[in-house]
Amino acid sequence: MSTAAHTITDVRLTPVLVADPPLLNTQGLHQPYTPRLIIEVETAGGATGVGETYGDAKYLDLARPFAAALVGRAVSDLNGLFTLADSVTVDATRVDTAVDVGGLRGVQTADKLRLSVASGFEVACLDALGETLGLPVHALLGGKVRDSVEYSAYLFYRHAEHPPGVAGERDDWGAALDPAGVVAQARLFTERYGFTSFKLKGGVFPPDQEIAAIRALAAAFPGHPLRLDPNGAWSVETSLEVAAELGDVLEYLEDPALGTPAMAEVAARTKVPLATNMCVTTFAEIPEAFAKGAVQVVLSDHHYWGGLRNTRELAAVCRTFGVAVSMHSNTHLGISLAAMTHVAATVPDLRHACDSHYPWQSEDVLTERLRFEGGHVTVSDAPGLGVELDRDRLAALHRRWLDEDHAALRERDDAAAMRRLDPEWTTPLVPRW
């Protein structure tokens, strides 16, 4: 294959709105549709690679100049993506908001935005390169060390339907607003996908109610790994009380308190391991967090960290410091699940099941959905990511994005969705409890 064949000749960006159920988190409620950006990279050799990332305007603003600058470069120039990312100007009004609602990942910086955009292009380039070379993405990352990747059931408190008057897709999961509802949802997850490990998104109800839900899960699924993640909604003292109450059944507590200093205080006073996808989301945040012993598990998200190769670098740093690594997820489609599975397949010592929102996404842009069997996704050995775009589906979800009736949903805003139920709702101050 000549190097000319590796040259990128076209890049297509397609923002879409994807159906999302009425899931609750500490900031509010999921809107009926969530924005994602689908990236296609085409090479002179005829390969097309696909990537996926956040789709709100602040990401699209960066993705457009990035896409234009990519044409003419080699699809194999993955390190060059970061130089390119650095050269893309970030609008100052897009950064330093108090909390990024979509990612729940702390203060938003220009670097974080750039990395989240670069990650989508990196995945698309790896997919195209794999197609060109006839190799799966995991091989381009050094090769898989396992044939399947385990995921956890991602349990959410939720309503059966979106608020009255809000148009959205319906599903058959029902409501889960108390311990019995959470256990029923967990049973459905095991029946449908075979998950054996469970994470409950907390920070929604006062801690006693969430403790009761975890206790109910422990009784219904004795010995199964359980996690609770309130997204930093608790004070240090509340975090310690919950840790004391649930220490015998929790695999780990995820982001009980907000920020490294608070997490370090909690970690110093409990034996329950702490995981994060909020206080360690960049390499720059690692030294303080590790020096203070603030976290025992870093939940990587290749969108945050700038792609699959950075995820492996993160895993190496964590391994060096005896910190475990697993994976975080936000609302995403099958392209991202495939990318997560390829990289997770190459990470040694992956001891915790990865998170994925994918079961909550009834829609996808692929010809074939990825499947969970026994809670695992099989690692594809087909060239690239091993997925194929369904152009009709992509076009339909893009039409929804274009539709002026849905214009307000082009930005994810969980607080706005919650106001449809509670007009007084504002993003709560943390700690809430």
Q: Is 185 in the site for ligand GKR (CB under 6 A)?
A: no
Calculate ∠ Cα 261-262-264, nearest 5°.
Answer: 65
Among 50, 70, 85, 104, binds ligand GKR (CB under 6 A): 104
In sequence order, the 6+-apart residues with CB closer than 8 A to the CB of 134 are 383
Q: Does 285 engage in binding with Mg ion (CB under 5 A)?
A: no
| Binds ligand GKR (CB under 6 A): choice among 8, 17, 19, 23 | 23
Q: Could you tell which of ligand GKR, Mg ion, none binds residue 300, using a CB distance below 5 to 8 A set by kind?
A: none
Angstrom distance (rounded) from CA 39 to CA 311: 20
Q: How far is the CB of 392 from ligand GKR (least distance, A)?
A: 27
Q: What minimum distance in Å lies between the beta carbon of 249 and Mg ion?
A: 19
Q: Of 277, 310, 341, 380, which one interacts with ligand GKR (CB under 6 A)?
A: 277
Annotated catalytic residue within 112, 201, 303, 357? 201
The reply on whether position 25 binds ligand GKR by CB under 6 A is yes
For residue 201, indicate whether it is catalytic: yes
Which range in 110-118, 129-137, 275-283, 423-431 contacts Mg ion by CB under 5 A? 275-283
Q: What is the dihedral of CA 242, 248, 252, 258, to 10 degrees?
A: 10
Residue count, binding to Mg ion (CB under 5 A): 3
Residue 277 makes contact with Mg ion by CB under 5 A: yes
Closest CB to Mg ion among residues 52, 229: 229
Annotated active-site residue 271? The verdict is: no
Q: Shortest gap between Cβ of 289 and ligand GKR (angstroms)? A: 16
- In the region spanning residues 190 to 249, those forming contacts with ligand GKR, defined by CB under 6 A, are 201, 229, 231
Which one of ligand GKR, Mg ion, none is in contact with 103 (Cβ closer than 5 to 8 A by kind)? ligand GKR
Among 210, 229, 251, 301, binds Mg ion (CB under 5 A): 229
Question: Closer CB to Mg ion, residue 119 or residue 277?
Answer: 277
Minimal distance, residue 24 CB to ligand GKR, in Å: 8
How far is the C-alpha of 176 from the C-alpha of 153, rounded, in Å? 14
- 336 contact, one of Mg ion, ligand GKR, none, CB 5-8 Å limit per kind: none
CB of 360 to ligand GKR, least distance (A): 8
Decide which of ligand GKR, Mg ion, none touches 281; Cβ closer than 5 to 8 Å per partner kind.
none
- CB nearer Mg ion, residue 90 or residue 327: 327
The entry of Mg ion, ligand GKR, none near residue 197 (CB within 5 to 8 angstroms by kind) is none
Can you tell me the distance from the alpha carbon of 105 to that of 114, in angstroms, rounded to the nearest whole number?
Answer: 14
Among 31, 132, 330, 346, interactor with ligand GKR by CB under 6 A: 330
Nearer to ligand GKR, 228 or 377 (CB): 228
Q: Which is nearer to Mg ion, 49 or 431 (CB)?
A: 431
CA dihedral 111, 398, 357, 60 (to 10 degrees): 10
SS (H, E, C) the chain: CCHHHHEEEEEEEEEEEEECCCEEECCEECCCEEEEEEEEEEECCCCEEEEEEECCHHHHHHHHHHHHHHCCCECCCCCHHHHHHHHCCCCHHHCCCCCCCCCCCCCCCHHHHHHHHHHHHHHHHHHHHHHHHCCEHHHHCCCCCCCEEEECEEEECECCCCCCCCCCCCCCCCCECCHHHHHHHHHHHHHHHCCCCEEEECCCCCHHHHHHHHHHHHHHCCCCCEEEECCCECCHHHHHHHHHHHCCCEEEEECCECCHHHHHHHHHCCCCCEEECCCCCCHHHHHHHHHCCCCCEEEECHHHHCCHHHHHHHHHHHHHCCCEEEECCCCCCHHHHHHHHHHHHHCCCCCCCECCCHHHCCCCCECCCCCCECCEEECCCCCECCCCECHHHHHHHHHHHHCHHHHHHHCCCHHHHHHCCCCCCCCCCCCCC
| Total residues at interface with ligand GKR (CB under 6 A) | 12
Binding mask 64-103 for ligand GKR (x = CB under 6 A): ---------------------------------------x
Q: Among 138, 328, 352, 376, which one carries the catalytic annotation?
A: 328
Interface with ligand GKR, residue 328, by CB under 6 A: yes
Provide the minimum distance between the beta carbon of 28 and ligand GKR in the complex, in angstroms, as a whole number.
9
- By beta carbon distance, the residue nearest ligand GKR is 25
Is residue 431 reached through a cis peptide bond, with omega within 30 degrees of 0 on the bond before it?
yes
Q: Which distant-in-sequence residues (6+ apart) come within 8 Å of 415 by Cβ?
A: 27, 28, 101, 425, 426, 427
Segment interacting with ligand GKR, rule: CB under 6 A, options 159-167, 242-250, 326-334, 345-353: 326-334
Residues that bind Mg ion (CB under 5 A): 229, 254, 277
**Active-site residue set:** 201, 328
Contact residues for ligand GKR, defined by CB under 6 A: 23, 25, 103-104, 201, 229, 231, 277, 328-331
